[in-house]
């Protein structure tokens, strides 16, 4: 815990001086000031995050973490639990949505097994075996994991990022996840942090029916009731009502911030990890970019807590990092605008009177 606390406390603030340089450049480019809206603000923020001007379009990595959830015993998901492991193989085989969208964005997908119940056998170069346990315990009956497990899972996420970053520097990171049942812990995390009853934010996840929705709501209510997570203690929330892949993503987000790498937060489950990271160190928020607004009803609430405006709203609700992958192209576009456009004087164009 001390090692982790030290790591978290060593995250540095973003540097607005670099953002100022991006702003100065924008004001000289051949377009009315501010006319490229979020592309402009994004490039300014990225300069501040990376402590660099001009920012660089470089290596893009999506961290797609998988884990299983004991809470599925309560009948909270439309899909059987074995799908988590099957989808890990699909990610490694290249047939999943995240593979298609990552390839389209020129990004790599690193797949982390933080706690998939089924054994995964793979020597794929992008597979990381970081398993803490065969899925979490059923949080409707007690904590999802021990404190020690929560910390190990966060550290596994940190290590995953640090290893990749050391091999070849990452310029833009994205979060993603797979875990049958994991909108249930994500909803519990939101309910605890926002201090609102679960029934106000619960959604259909991968598409559960009305009876399933009732079971899911009850399961979350029970989990919060029995565990009484402390809303100001990120580790406590995580271990009581979280998941291994969520904990791993907390680590990825912390490591991105620590290394001054912008991190695109994907959908509902990824954003629950972002909420935890923001409790552990609020500076993290400044390194986050909200990729999109999910169809999952609680997601806008999460984004409001983080004070983030999402780049996309395409009614996605798949996870895996799919929204983050799509948003990577918007981020690249924003950087290219500030680096590649001509200025008024270079192009011989008259500026505003």
* Cα 223 to Cα 240: distance, rounded to the nearest angstrom: 8
Closer to a second copy by Cβ: residue 105 or 130: 105
**Of positions 5, 169, 340, 345, contacts a second copy by CB under 8 A:** 340
| Total residues belonging to the chain | 353
Contact call for residue 353 and a second copy (CB under 8 A):
yes
Contact call for residue 56 and a second copy (CB under 8 A):
no
Q: Interacting stretch for a second copy, rule CB under 8 A, among 12-20, 86-94, 232-240, 300-308?
A: 86-94
* Cα 91 to Cα 320: distance, rounded to the nearest angstrom: 9
Q: Interacting stretch for a second copy, rule CB under 8 A, among 9-17, 107-115, 271-279, 306-314?
A: 306-314
Nearest approach, Cβ of 62 to a second copy (angstroms)? 14
Q: Buried (b) or exposed (e) across 266-281, using 16+ Cβ within 10 A?
A: bbbbbbbbbbbbbbbb
CB 109 within 8 A of CB 99: yes
Closer to a second copy by Cβ: residue 157 or 267: 267
* Cα 103 to Cα 110: distance, rounded to the nearest angstrom: 13
**Of positions 27, 86, 126, 221, contacts a second copy by CB under 8 A:** 86
Closer to a second copy by Cβ: residue 32 or 195: 32
Contact call for residue 101 and a second copy (CB under 8 A):
yes
Catalytic site includes residue 320 = yes
Residues 241-300 that bind a second copy (CB under 8 A): 295
- Cβ count within 10 A of residue 81: 20
Closer to a second copy by Cβ: residue 34 or 142: 34
Contact call for residue 58 and a second copy (CB under 8 A):
no
CA angle 5, 8, 9 (to 5 degrees): 85
Q: Of 164, 199, 320, 346, which is the active-site residue?
A: 320
User: How far lies 139's CA from each of 36, 147, 169, 216, in Å?
Assistant: 46, 14, 38, 12
Contact call for residue 137 and a second copy (CB under 8 A):
no
The number of angstroms, rounded, from the C-alpha of 62 to the middle of its chain's C-alpha atoms is 9
**Of positions 73, 78, 283, 305, contacts a second copy by CB under 8 A:** 78
Q: Residue 270: name the closest of 248, 239, 297 by CA.
A: 248
**Of positions 5, 24, 34, 197, contacts a second copy by CB under 8 A:** 34
**Of positions 5, 12, 24, 33, contacts a second copy by CB under 8 A:** 33
End-to-end CA distance of the chain: 59
Nearest approach, Cβ of 302 to a second copy (angstroms)? 18
CB 207 within 8 A of CB 122: no
Pairing label, strands 60-67, 263-265? unpaired
The set of catalytic residues is 320
Binding site for a second copy (CB under 8 A): 29-39, 78-80, 82-83, 86-87, 89-90, 93-97, 99-101, 103-104, 206-207, 295, 311-318, 322, 326, 329-330, 332-333, 336-337, 340-342, 346-353
């Amino acid at each position: 815990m001390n090692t982790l606390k030290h790591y978290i406390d060593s995250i540095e603030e973003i540097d607005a001086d670099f953002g100022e340089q991006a702003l100065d450049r924008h004001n000289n480019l051949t377009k009315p000031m501010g006319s490229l809206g979020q592309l402009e603000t994004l490039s300014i923020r990225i300069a501040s995050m990376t402590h660099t001007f001009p920012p660089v379009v470089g290596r893009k990595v999506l961290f797609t973490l998988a884990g299983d959830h004991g809470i599925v015993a309560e009948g909270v998901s439309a899909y059987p639990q074995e799908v988590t492991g099957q989808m890990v193989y699909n990610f490694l085989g290249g047939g999943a949505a995240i593979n298609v969208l990552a390839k389209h964005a020129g990004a790599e997908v690193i797949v982390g097994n933080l706690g998939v119940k089924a054994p995964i056998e793979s020597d794929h170069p992008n597979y990381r075996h970081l398993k803490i346990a065969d899925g979490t315990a059923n949080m409707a009956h007690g904590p999802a994991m021990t404190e020690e497990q929560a910390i190990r899972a966060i550290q596994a996420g940190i290590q995953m990022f640090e290893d990749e970053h050391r091999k070849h520097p990452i310029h833009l990171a994205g979060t993603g996840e797979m875990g049958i049942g994991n909108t249930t812990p994500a909803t519990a995390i939101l309910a605890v942090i926002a201090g609102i009853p679960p029934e106000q934010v619960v959604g259909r996840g991968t598409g559960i029916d009305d009876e399933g929705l009732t079971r899911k709501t009850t399961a979350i209510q029970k989990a919060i009731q029995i565990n009484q997570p402390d809303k100001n203690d990120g580790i406590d929330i995580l271990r009581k009502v979280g998941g291994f892949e969520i904990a791993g993503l907390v680590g990825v987000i912390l490591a991105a911030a620590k290394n001054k790498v912008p991190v695109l937060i994907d959908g509902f489950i990824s954003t629950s990890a972002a909420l935890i990271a923001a409790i552990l160190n609020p500076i993290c928020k400044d390194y986050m970019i909200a990729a999109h607004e999910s169809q999952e009803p609680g997601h806008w609430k999460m984004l409001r807590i983080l004070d983030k405006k999402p780049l996309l709203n395409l009614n996605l609700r798949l996870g895996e990092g799919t929204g983050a992958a799509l948003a990577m192209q918007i981020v690249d576009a924003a950087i290219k605008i500030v680096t590649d456009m001509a200025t008024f004087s270079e192009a011989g164009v008259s500026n505003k009177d």
